[in-house]
Amino acid sequence: MAFWLGLDVGTGGTRVLLIDETGHVRHACTAPHADMRMERPLWAEQDPENWWDASRQAIRGVLSQANVGGKDVRGVGLSGQMHGLVILDDSNQVIRPALIWCDQRSQPQVDWINQTAGKELVLRSIANPVLTGFTLPKLLWVRDNEPRLFEGVRRMLLPKDYIRFQLSGDYASDVSDASGTALFDVAQRRWSFELVDKLGLDRSILPRVCESSEITGAITPEAARETGLEAGTPVVAGAGDQAASAVGNGIVAPGVVSCTLGTSGVVFAHSQQPAYDVAGRVHTFCHAVPDAWHVMGVTQGAGLSLQWFRNQFASGVAYDGLTAEAAQAPAGSQGLYWLPYLMGERTPHLDPNARGALVGITPAHRRTHVIRAILEGVAFSLKDTFSIFDEMKVPVAQIRLGGGGARSLLWRQIQADVYDHEVELVTAEEGAAYGAAILAAVGAGQFASVDEACDAVIHVASRVKPDPAASALMQKNYATFRRLYPALREIH
């Protein structure tokens, strides 16, 4: 039997799975990463070498669990956290820890980009405003603060593409992941050398960019020895985690929208052409589907909010235990509100200095209310993107949930109530790693296109309808939620 392997470099760990010819997930294995380092406020770093250690462990683990030999794997697809900065020297060694997606230290560099290139050139070049979370300002932060290290930079890679380099020796990326660097011409699906040159950067550090199902290389003999894969197995370009997760959820046609709730939260809509928000509150990136794009809103501290609460106030309690507690509180948390801006915020505020807040505490509130308020606050923040989609006339006919947050029945119900819309789960709840495996199957010739693959293997497993009374309350509370950030903005 033939298998295709999908690998996703997440924030907390690397997940690897195998799918068969029908798209069924045969086995999956996750290897944890070391905790991200946050030595100062707004900083967030991880070691790329640790991602490679986890990738080798997870690949070997899934092959062993499935009792599958490397020769039976016909293709490898890659996905991973977006925006992370991996820089290599002329010996292909990592120069410094990666500044990852939620690192917010680079506002001075964002300001310099806008002053040097001008906002008009920036928008014309990359179709998005530059944000602190993107890769380019991180690179410039290294230039400005660690000049000796910057002098040694010979290659710039994104997290999944560092794993590609270890697997196949190729310097390559894909159009969806490259879209989040702030150096990529999204409309033309190529690097924006006009912006690169304007900022005085070296073009040669950038990897070549391919469409997501395009083969970029093959497993090397050395990587085969370290992972158990077969040398010569094709590796496809893959996609950034959000585009790959969208493929894994079948978001390959207008009207079908995904809401992925992991460490961050993302609302993702397919588009047949680049669709822009003039205020820059949502991102316009290339999709993993050729000649398609997507519009995406991001909540920085989605699952991170619940993780923070557990780590600080409920050590050792499983997430299922926390959501079981939250279920004891009524909808609306008796007027308690959570603003999930632990790492600044993107959509809709574009504010790296935004801060989390718990608002409306009274003596009547208990831990159950706090946990439920966190779940509701994250959903309110994600609803901000749906509100922008409505302004942009982006159609929303179906909402498919993904990520760890989708595994909680309570959080699914809360989202249905907050969005005032039925939500769905698909049969394979694997998100980005599953989408990466689908892309591998397309690249290896099992399917003629990404659309054909999704039609064949993705099916809706369950649906949750909004509760009319709870949803009415959530719409009222959402109006209050939207007033809180402006009221607290000047308090840092």
Task: Give 404's DSSP letter.
Answer: G
**From the candidate CATH numbers 3.40.1190.10, 3.40.50.970, 3.40.309.10, 3.30.420.40, the one assigned to the domain spanning 250-430+459-492:** 3.30.420.40
Same fold, 3-243 and 250-430+459-492: yes
Mean pLDDT, 10 residues at a time, over the chain (492 residues)? 96 96 94 93 95 98 96 98 97 98 95 95 91 96 98 98 98 98 97 97 98 98 98 98 93 93 92 85 95 94 96 95 98 98 92 94 98 98 97 94 91 98 89 95 96 94 97 98 94 71
Residue 350: per-residue pLDDT: 87
Q: Is 230 exposed, middle or buried (0-12, 13-18, 19+ CB in 10 A)?
A: middle
**From the candidate CATH numbers 3.40.50.970, 3.40.50.2000, 1.10.260.40, 3.30.420.40, the one assigned to the domain spanning 3-243:** 3.30.420.40
* Residues annotated as part of the active site: 241
Q: Would you tell me how many other CB atoms lie within 10 Å of the CB of residue 479?
A: 10
Residue 323: per-residue pLDDT: 97
Residue 200: per-residue pLDDT: 97
Q: Identify which of 170, 168, 163 has the alpha carbon closest to the alpha carbon of residue 219.
A: 168
Return the domain boundaries, the chain.
3-243, 250-430+459-492
Which pair of structure tokens corresponds to residue 9? 């470099």
Residue 254: per-residue pLDDT: 92
Residue 193: per-residue pLDDT: 97
Residue 492: per-residue pLDDT: 63
CA-to-CA distance for 188 and 197, rounded, in angstroms?
17
CA-to-CA distance for 455 and 452, rounded, in angstroms?
5
